[in-house]
Amino acid sequence: MNIQVAPLERKQLLGTAGGHSVVLDQPVERGGDGGGFRPTELWLIGLSGCAAGTLKGLAREKGYALESVSIEAEEETDAEGAIFRVTFRAALHGTLTPSERAQLLREVKGRCKVVRTVHPSISVAFRDALEAGSLAGVSGDTVQSELRAGCSSEGGACCI
């Protein structure tokens, strides 16, 4: 894998990989224009995307009826701004028993190659979002429709 990051204007950077690109920026309160993702947001998106794919693969291996996965991720920082905890709330949509849901959430942390790169000083936890109420009732189709609505490219391909 080869990626490139190059300066744009002010604090903005252009990240490219495999013919795709993304703008990185800082929020206005930190001197940026707020015109792109913060690096931490992209990191959390990468972790969440890998975890979602891993959850789907684990379910397939085990023969579980998992239809789709939606993930919310949140980091917690200390007084110096260092991340010390990342919590993933995974909504596992499908016909799963409580024990199947729990097993998938237990195993994903050790099986996802990107999550395994997180420094040991950072606590990583996976929670069942549907059980906790977060993301409740959100289907994969609903999420995709909402993402497409915010995209500037035809058909919403930039966000999905």
Report whether 128 contacts 101 (CB < 8 A): yes
Give start and end residues of each alpha helix (H) in the chain. Answer: 39-62, 98-111, 129-132, 140-149
| Count of residues making up the chain | 160
Work out the angle between the directed axes of helices 98-111 and 39-62 (0-180°, nearest 10): 120
**Distance separating alpha carbons of residues 146 and 148, to the nearest angstrom:** 6
Fold (CATH) for 39-156: GMP Synthetase; Chain A, domain 3 (3.30.300)
Residue by residue, pLDDT tens for the chain (160 residues) are 899 999 999 899 999 999 999 999 999 998 899 999 999 999 999 999 999 999 999 999 999 999 999 999 999 999 999 999 999 999 999 999 999 999 999 999 999 999 999 999 999 999 999 875 544 344 444 434 333 344 443 443 333 2
Q: Which two tokens stand for residue 97?
A: 């028993």
